[in-house]
A and B are shown apart, each in its own frame.
Chain A
Amino acid sequence: MRIRRTDLYIPRIYLLTGGMLLAFLVLGISLWRLQVAKVSQFENRQQIQSLRRVRLPGIRGKIYDRNGLCLADNRPVYSIALFLEEVRRAGPWARTIDQAMDVIGRVAKVTGLNPEMNREGIWKHIRLRLPLPLVLWRDIGPQAMARLSERGRDIPGVDIYTEATRVYPYSPYTSHLLGYVGRADSDMMNEEENYSYYLPEMAGRAGLEKLFDPFLRGEAGGRLMQIDVTGYRHGELAHRTPKSGGDLRLTLDMEVQLLAHKALGNHRGAVVVLDPNNGDVLAMLSAPGFDANRFVPYINVTDWNLLSKDPAKPLLNRAVAGVYPPGSTFKPLVGLAAATLNPASIHTVYDSPSIFRIGQRVVHTTGHGEVDMREALKLSANVYFFKTALACGPDPIIQQVLSVGLGQKTGVEVDFEQSGVVPDKKFQKENRVGWSDGDTCNLAIGQGYVAVTPIQMAMVTATIANGGYLYRPRLVQAYREPAAEAYVLNEGNRIGKMNWSEAALFAVRAGMHDVIMEKNGTGRRAAVEGLDFAGKTGTAEYGVKEEGAKHTWMIAFAPFDNPQYAVAILVEDGDSGGGTVGPCMKVLMEGLYEKMKREGRLT
């Protein structure tokens, strides 16, 4: 067999085969580089383009009063939402929008709701949040919901969408201390995880909601969604359920809080009721109030302007942030200071005429004749306290007043608390005036520079009522950690004991008892038949003397022998402590008396 010509070129075929194998090897190496060496890079790119993380807000913890009444609750909001991926149309977006508008029309017909969503709204949703449901009607009523589930079964892509919102059932009576929540800014959350979409979350903006925000807020959940090339939701890859935040149980007794509201009536002012045995805040009310629900999720400009520009300052929590001269409610402290320094002063009798001369100044006041401390307290005799204060000098009084907690924040868990003012010689110097006998006399009757908050006066009252024990007022009685069964009690908050002598306390308490219980006591209008209690009125002048503007006070504790309530009531621009606040105190005490009787706490 002869060798054919082309057999000579068989090596060329081997060469060619070798070349092709080499080419496939190059492909194999490239594949390895792509799929093995750079896999993380491509996985990352693939995830960036097809995965979206949605943050689900945590479930906010609730706030209860001491009896388990819910004061800050979560309410489900039912909305009708459209899932655009189920009504999608191929081609230009306008076709999908047409279809969506058609569906909206059908839902509107079935439910009787007015269409609120327009083409621009849908287009905006498509551009910004396509994988998320488009809310068509927020917070629909039960009627619309029933109609939709009855007759809207065959409408494509429409479903009920549930969110939670904050609700304050007892607002406005609780607004100042609970505060409110508002829509949180996503950039404020400062989290490590990056989300593509944030569902609206509530953040505490004032009051307890703000102070305990991290505790109440709960833990955000998330959804890992897969989107397709058009941006529609394709499916859910992972879901992390949001966790609930912790709950707070307050010392507040809603019954007392409502009594306080009733007592204050239409007055502008504040009421604070403490339990003198432990400093628990049983009621803390500031009037006028506001409806905190209006702030959720955000307050509109009109409402905000109405509230913030109202001359009555409804946003101000007068109970802790209102600073007023204490007037005559200060006198028990002066008496205690003097009697502790010099026990004899309890029985010292001073003439208390209607005209008193301090240096060059002549003070005109009500005359009461010869009185001792008990009598002077009952009648609120100014000149008696001028003479007492002048006799012991201002320093022991200032020292007493500071150690009972005035001039500093009580530390109650409410924001914007003010510390008030206790003037001393240093303070006067800083204000470029020297300390004169006139200042001592002003101090003796709670006038001049001295300024206090209602909660400070309630704290003072509680301290007198319980025999000198100082408790820091507290609002949070117990807290329950997320997912925990039981509450953890807040630890005790006794912060000290006053060095008042028994005799001094006896005299001052007796004087305060007479204020209410005696026929000519200044607080007799507060008296409640059957309830033995003690108190003190106060009328504090402020501003220019000629205008005669007065803040009126009354402090009280009840029952006298076994105090369970220590109260401070302030009414702005009243006539007199006894005349204006007395009837308020009467209403409150009547209520408390009934409550104690009902609960069997009277012995």
Chain B
Amino acid sequence: MNRSLLRFDWVMFSAIAVLLVLSGLFIYSADYRNDHAVGGLMGRQLVWALIGLGCYSAAAFLDYRKLNSAHWWIYLAGLFSLVLVLFIGMSVYGAHRWFSFGGITVQPSEFAKLAVIFTLASWLGDPATDVERFKTFMLAFVLAGVPFLLIAMEPDLGSAMVLLPIVVLLLFCAGVPLRPLLILMGLGVVALLLLIIWLLFFPDSCPLEDYQKSRILVYLNIHQDPLGAGWNKLQSQIAVGSGGWFGKGYLKGTQNILGFLPRTVAPTDFIYSVVAEETGFAGSSLLLVLYTTVVVRCMSAAVQARDTFGRLLAAGIGVLIFSHVFVNIAMTIGLMPITGVPLPLMSYGGTFMVSTMTALGLVQSVYLRRRI
């Protein structure tokens, strides 16, 4: 035990711990109106963080290699939950994304993403899998594509989209030839351009939901609609931009208190705006440094991993964290369209907290059992 504590990645854990504390503080701030926090969100988030820490410890001290053989079961469980949520999930604004158990809601897509990473890492890490074959390449996309479609059907396209960089970069790390990857990325860009043209000129025939269409168009600055779909983007930019070097002070973010940053999203998808407004560039860049630390330590665990499964698992989780952080911050500051992608460890939300902590625990597990 002493030996494993010495081998423990304390740097990453410290970064995670600091992020969890900040999460509590700023969820309180996002919840704060007229001298008190109204929703009691911070307390609940702290409970989730404790559960997350439990899962983290369990995952860290569990030998990830023992789970290797179970990867298909994990994958199927993930798919099953995604199918189930479409039928018995709680309906919110027509979307079926959550299971509800007596007041606690669970979002299966977060676990499904982790399951996809786990399965891909295990399968691609299997010496029997020939990564240089085109069949492997295609099968990896099928493995990611099924949950992608299921999540997109909820509908939660933003969350599903995160699977795309995961599968591409996992294949990259696993050592697939570069040419098909590059061709695929080229096709992706062309498809995106076609989508934009489609949205612009033939919006009625597009199968995307209206809110998704308008979000993309707002991002492209084509539909200037500051009171409609563009509101969140504009108000988030104003919140971040008016922070200055050191921000307006804790609990003094006017964009949040006055409700310009909508109260429903301030503690969740737009928690970064709250931090950036109240602590300025100093705080927002500190957060960025913390996330960089977490991601770099994940990749470092991947490099030092004892086996290919561990390496791909750590790298895949690193990519998962990176994708969420990048997409979330980029949308907060107006670089990307508004997608409902939360900020790992910071955003209010139980399932995502637990799944992220479990994932980071797995990385720790890989690191603890590294070669050197």
Contacts and interface: CB of A to CB of B under 8 A. Distances in A.
B219 interface: no
Given A16-B299, A32-B281, A226-B258, A27 B329 contact: yes
Interface residues of B, number: 51
Interface string B110-131: 0000000000000001010001
A489 interface: no
Given A17-B296, A24-B292, A46-B254, A35 B244 contact: yes
Contacts of A31: 240, 276, 281, 284-285, 288, 329, 333
B303 interface: yes
Instruction: Label chain B's interface by main secondary structure.
Output: helix
Interface in A19-77: 20-21, 23-24, 27-28, 30-32, 34-36, 38-39, 41-43, 45-46, 49-50
Given A38-B241, A43-B244, A27 B259 contact: no
B160 interface: no
A32 B281 CA distance: 7
A50 B335 CA distance: 25
B261 to A, nearest CB: 9
Contacts of A23: 322, 326
A16 B311 contact: no
B280 interface: yes
A150 interface: no
Contacts of A234: 257-258
Nearest to A8: B175
A312 B319 CA distance: 94
Contacts of A10: 303
B220 to A, nearest CB: 17
A13 interface: yes
A13 B244 contact: no
Instruction: Label chain A's interface by main secondary structure.
Output: helix
Interface in B297-315: 299, 302-303, 307-308, 311-312, 315
B281 to A, nearest CB: 4
A35 B276 contact: yes
A415 B64 CA distance: 98
A12 B255 contact: no
A87 to B, nearest CB: 16
Given A12-B172, A34-B237, A39-B244, A226 B127 contact: no
A357 interface: no
B242 interface: yes
A157 B125 CA distance: 68
Contacts of A4: 307-308
A42 B174 CA distance: 45
Nearest to B255: A46
B175 A39 contact: no
Interface string B250-267: 000011011110000000
Contact of B127 (A5, A20, A41, A50): A5
Contacts of A39: 241-245
B50 interface: no
Given A13-B311, A31-B288, A50 B260 contact: yes
A463 to B, nearest CB: 70
A229 B259 contact: yes
B330 interface: yes
B260 to A, nearest CB: 5
B360 interface: no
A10 B318 CA distance: 15
A227 interface: yes
A571 to B, nearest CB: 68
Nearest to B309: A6
Contacts of A45: 238, 241-242
27 contacts: A4-B307, A6-B175, A6-B312, A9-B174, A10-B303, A13-B303, A16-B169, A17-B295, A17-B299, A17-B318, A20-B326, A23-B326, A24-B292, A27-B335, A30-B330, A30-B335, A31-B281, A34-B237, A35-B240, A35-B241, A36-B281, A39-B243, A42-B240, A43-B241, A46-B238, A230-B259, A234-B258
Interface of A: 4-6, 8-10, 12-14, 16-17, 20-21, 23-24, 27-28, 30-32, 34-36, 38-39, 41-43, 45-46, 49-50, 226-230, 234
Given A39-B243, A41-B241, 20 more contacts: A5-B175, A6-B125, A6-B174, A6-B312, A9-B175, A13-B315, A14-B303, A16-B299, A21-B292, A30-B330, A31-B281, A31-B329, A35-B240, A39-B245, A45-B238, A45-B241, A46-B238, A46-B254, A50-B255, A229-B258
Closest 10 CB pairs of A and B: A42-B241, A229-B259, A9-B175, A35-B281, A46-B242, A17-B299, A228-B258, A6-B308, A42-B242, A39-B244
